[in-house]
Structures are given as structure tokens and as C-alpha cells.
Amino acid sequence: MTDPLLLLHRHRAVLPDWLALYYERPLELTHGEGRHVWDAEGNRYLDFFGGILTTMTAHALPEVTKAVADQAARIIHSSTLYLNRPMVELAERIAALSGIPDPRVFFTTSGTEANDTALLLATAYRRSNQVLAMRNSYHGRSFSTVAVTGNCGWSPTSLSPLQTYYVHGAVRGRGPFAHLSDADFTAAAVADLRDVLGQARSQVAALIAEPIQGVGGFTAPPDGLYAAFREVLDEHGILWISDEVQTGWGRTGEYFWGWQAHARSGPPDMLTFAKGIGNGMSVGGVVARAEIMNCIDTNSISTFGGSPVTMAAANANLAYLLDHDLQGNARRVGGLLLERLRAVCAGVPAVREVRGRGLMAGIELTRPGTDRADPDAAAAVLEAAREGGLLIGKGGGHDTSVLRIAPPLSLTVAEAEEGAEILAAALRTATT
């Protein structure tokens, strides 16, 4: 048994003030198994957030832990200066799954670094530092990815190496187009895109967009919006980067990649990935057409991207996901979970909307009788859910009033029912 308050004191003494912690009494998670984790005081929780959508298959998945141990017993590190069999094998698998023609894969250690690399490639290929991004978006915490993050709660500086233009369309239920039908919403967003492009000084390099906004509160445009955008982008030679850090690997159930909900125009020019592929190991990357990936004409390496141990983990994790049809499980169990969440939220005045796809659900809270976000209620529900034995996340705009629910893709029906019941009780306790 350890004292979490003492660890919290030590944390605050040596780590940045801006390093966010959940809960009034922050948790120290010590171990996990399946869809459950335990804290340092011995409390057991059903995990509906998976380390921010990172524990994709299950905690302590034997296939992954064995792959890590076996590889670590051989060699832990070599860098990209040497041939790396696990990296080549994973790249071959991801290239085949990506849908991108003549693909090349570059591995990084995080989603931030993956998006940073995609921006480097796009701006080098197009010889332009102008980038389109979506309002309310989040793409990482590096200098370049903060520059294309449209959510002010996660953008700590206005200084930027890029000139970014923000476009409407990613938030269906709020903003000036919210009252329109899906078709009219898409048409209005396309008109806005054309208007923005008319104000650009010269050619624009790329549009970077999350098919479903993660940090932004699991909000999404109508299916087909990015296909309609793509028609406009193609007129100008502008690249489309699909940020799949949170939507990839079948989490949405219906699709393996989020971009496939907008597939009328075919695959993006680039897609970025991270989080779930390593099941907790630090793996990210970019898939791009060869002509784009190979446009860099200087030397480059990655010291830690594609390390043998993380590649072994990702290979085992991806094989497990495909062999056990976890995408299908996300569709089936996720559909049931969304149905249950809508049912338990129907009588809660503070709930404005329940939305999502597969095992990616958001519950937006507002002050009853108004349309104003209620971050205090979201924080209270987060605490109440923890007391009931359930871990969830938060997100949304700068107000952080959306409960984010994204359990491992191996979630069972019984666990979905249990989590919905705990969340129902937490909503009743915290919002009445």
C-alpha cells in the first residue's frame, strides 16, 4: 500500500504545473488485466478510457507482453540506421491495410510526432507553409501541431511556423450550420472552404483533419463531408491528411479507418496513426504515397521510432485485433453501449447529446434548460463514476464538458452493461 497524497506532493514538486491530472485525489494505477485496472490502494476499476484510447485490445494482453519480453531478450534498440525485421513486417501490414496507393510508412514514437512529420512532408512537397485545419481540432503538443490545433484549450501559443486557416464542418451539433440538414450542412461547409481558399496568399499545402475529433469531444461531420472537401482540394492540388490517431484500427466499428466514412473520393494522401496500435507501447507513424514520402532530399533517421521492442508489440497487437475481429466487436458491443447510454441519459436534463460510433462515445453536458456547456458537471460525473468503479475521460471545446468513453475493443456485453449502469448512477448523483 502506498500513499497517493505523498506521491502527488512529489509529482507537483518536480513536474510542470500544466501537466494535467484527473480527479481531486489523483490515481496511481499499478496494474491492469483485460478491461480492468487497479490503483495503489487496491481499488478495481472498469476502464472505459484505456489510457486515452491507447490500450486498444486489453490490459496485459498475453500475446503482446510475450512479444515484448521475447524481443527485449534479444535486442532492445538499434535505431533506423540498421535493418529492423519487426519494423519492416509491421510496415508491410500497415501499408496493405491503409488503402493508400503505392504506400510508404514512417514510424514515430507518438501521434504528435506523426502529425508533425505529415506536416513536414506536406509543406516540403507543396513548397508552402499554408495549412488548412478544422475548428475545434487537436493534433498534438509540438510547436507545429499546436499551430494547427483549433481548440484553444490545447493551444498554448499563437506563435507558429505555419499559416493556418480554420474551416467549419467538424462539429455537427453546434455553430452557424447546426440547424441545417446533413446535405445543406455539407454544402455550407464546402462554401466556407472555398471562401477560405479565396483568401489564401498562394498555394496551400494540405488539409489536416480528424474524421472524429477526439479531444474535441468525439464530434464528427456528416459522412461524406471530407469527400466533398476533397473535390475542392483536388482543384488546387492540396493534400488531405487524415489524422487517425484516435479513429484508426477499427475503433469506430463500421470502418477500419475513420476516412472510410468519406470514401467517395478514395483514400487520403496521407494518414497518421498512433495510440492503440502499440497497446500502450510508444508507436506512431505516417502512411503516405511514395512520391510524397520520398520528397525529403536530405538525410534523416529516427532514433526511437520503429524500435524493435515497440514494433514487436505492435505486430502482436495488430495480429490479435485482426484474428479476433475486434472491429466487429466494436461495432456490435459499441452499438449496444451507445443504445444503453442513450437510454440512461434520456431522463437526465443535463445531457444535451449522446453521440459516437463503435466504441467511441461522447456525452455532452450543459446547464439544464440552456445550451451552455457545463464543465463543472462533467468533472462531477467523472468523480462519481470513479467512486462507482468506472474510469472515463473528458473533452470538448475549451469548456471540457463532454464525457469521453472509449474502452478497449475487446469489451464484453456484460462489461458494457455494467459500465452503463455505473455511469447512469454517476449522472443521477452528480447532475441532480
pLDDT tens-digit readout, 12-62: 999 999 999 999 999 999 999 999 999 999 999 999 999 999 999 999 999
pLDDT given at position 135: 96
- Give the relative orientation of helices 308-323 and 85-98 as an angle to the nearest 10 degrees: 40
> Where do the DSSP E strands lie in 161-219?
163-167, 206-209
pLDDT given at position 207: 98
Task: Retrieve residue 98's grid coordinates.
Answer: 491503409
Determine the Cα–Cα distance for residues 43 and 150; give it in Å rounded to an integer: 37
pLDDT given at position 341: 97
Query: Residue 73: which residues within 8 A CB-CB, separation 6 or more?
Result: none
Mean per-residue pLDDT, 87-95 = 98
Whether the Cβ atoms of residue 218 and residue 362 lie closer than 8 Å to each other: yes
Whether the Cβ atoms of residue 219 and residue 136 lie closer than 8 Å to each other: yes
Task: Retrieve residue 83's grid coordinates.
Answer: 535493418
Determine the Cα–Cα distance for residues 144 and 124; give it in Å rounded to an integer: 14
Question: Which residue type sits at 175?
Answer: G
Instruction: Identify the CATH assignment for 4-61+325-431 out of 3.90.1150.10, 3.40.50.300, 2.40.30.10, 2.10.77.10.
Output: 3.90.1150.10
Q: What is the pLDDT of residues 277-320, one digit of tens each?
A: 999 999 999 999 999 999 999 999 999 999 999 999 999 999 99
- pLDDT confidence band for 263 (50 / 70 / 90): confident
Whether the Cβ atoms of residue 68 and residue 312 lie closer than 8 Å to each other: yes
Location of each CATH 3.90.1150.10 domain in the chain: 4-61+325-431
Burial of 179 (C-beta count, 10 Å sphere; 0-12/13-18/19+): exposed
Q: Provide long-range contacts, Cβ within 8 A and 24+ apart, for 319-323.
A: 319/63, 320/57, 320/61, 320/63, 320/64, 321/56, 321/57, 321/249, 321/250, 321/409
Location of each CATH 3.40.640.10 domain in the chain: 64-323
Residue of 230, 295, 302 whose CA lies nearest to 269: 230
Read off the pTM.
0.96
Whether the Cβ atoms of residue 311 and residue 284 lie closer than 8 Å to each other: no
- pLDDT confidence band for 4 (50 / 70 / 90): confident
Q: What is the pLDDT of residues 140-170, one digit of tens each?
A: 999 999 999 999 888 888 888 899 999 999 9
Q: What is the pLDDT of residues 182-200, one digit of tens each?
A: 999 999 999 999 999 998 8
CATH topology of domain 64-323: Aspartate Aminotransferase; domain 2 (3.40.640)
Whether the Cβ atoms of residue 392 and residue 429 lie closer than 8 Å to each other: no
